[in-house]
Amino acid sequence: MRVMLPISSLLVFAVFAGPLAVAQDAASEQQNIITYREVNGQGLSAYVFRPAMHREGDKSDAVLLFHGGGWSAGTPEWTFGTARRFADWGMVAIAIEYRLSGGDVTPIDAFEDVCEAMRWVRHHASDLGLTGRVVGYGVSAGGHLVAASATVGCPGSEIEGDRSVPDALLLWSPALDVAMDGWFASMLQGRAAVSDYSPAQHVRRTTPPTSVVIGAEDTLTPLSGARRYCDRLVGLGGVCELNVYDGVGHLLTRNLANQESDFDPDPEASADGIERHRQFLVELGFILPE
């Protein structure tokens, strides 16, 4: 388990692509927007970003990206900048839309969307020009959802041949231990026990290699949960790289007084976290060294 301590002042982590960038994406990448699932008449989209040199017949590893937003806010566009970076590294990056909590919708529904996205991308690997190997990338609540697919296990995952588990996880300020999280519990609306959907409580020997980037002062998705997750995975003989950055909070913000908005990501820590994720992919053979 790698622990990075300490790091000071930094480069901006793009959790949100501005409105102009989103409009340009929609105009220039229509052919790369695919409906991967329909639920009650609502289509859920997958936004596909390919390496510049990707040609018909090429096969690349994929990374599925899940945005943050406390399970109740956010859009796939928040991960578009990161998706382009993965594409620059040689992977097919797919930003996933999932249902947001509100009304009758809970994080359980979002979790099911994540599971179906994993199955969809593997089922259509040949059509999408993929090898079938898939990395899960998640920010904050998105980190919780994709980590749950690898630990809690997706509905039906006990069926032989199920392909809902990612081959590796890259997590940025993830919510990995929600067992005692009252906010998350209220969002479940009594449909399940909170611990049933807490990744740290369900780490198993087969949990895929994981790299976590997190701020030491994070009050929304505390470091203690990431440590618990990594300690359990390493104790079972697995791989978990924990990259901790002193003096910063959620999403590596320097604004410790308000970690829910008005983010001020430390540029140096953000750049280092990105590089740690890149090196992790190199070590696992998903991308080539620079």
In a domain, residue 8? The reply is no
Per the structure, the complete domain to which residue 52 belongs is given by: 19-283
In a domain, residue 30? The reply is yes
Residue 270's nearest CA partner among 81, 84, 7 is 7
Whole-prediction pTM value?
0.89
Task: Point out the least confidently predicted range of 2-16, 41-55, 57-71, 97-111.
Answer: 2-16
In a domain, residue 110? The reply is yes
Residues 193-210: tens digit of each pLDDT = 999 999 999 999 999 999
Residue 27 has pLDDT above 50, yes or no: no
Determine contact, residues 241/211, Cβ cutoff 8 Å: yes
Residues 115-153: tens digit of each pLDDT = 999 999 999 999 999 999 999 999 999 999 999 999 999
The answer to whether the Cα torsion of 102, 72, 183, 212 is positive or negative is positive
In a domain, residue 3? The reply is no
CATH code of 184's domain:
3.40.50.1820
68 is written with which tokens?
A: 């943050």
Determine contact, residues 251/210, Cβ cutoff 8 Å: no
In a domain, residue 5? The reply is no
Pairing of strands 42-49, 33-39: antiparallel
Q: How far are the Cα atoms of 88, 171, 267, 275 from residue 290, in angstroms, in the given order?
A: 11, 22, 21, 11
In a domain, residue 127? The reply is yes
Determine contact, residues 221/259, Cβ cutoff 8 Å: no
Determine contact, residues 177/198, Cβ cutoff 8 Å: yes
For the chain, how many structural domains are there in total?
1
In a domain, residue 77? The reply is yes
In a domain, residue 66? The reply is yes
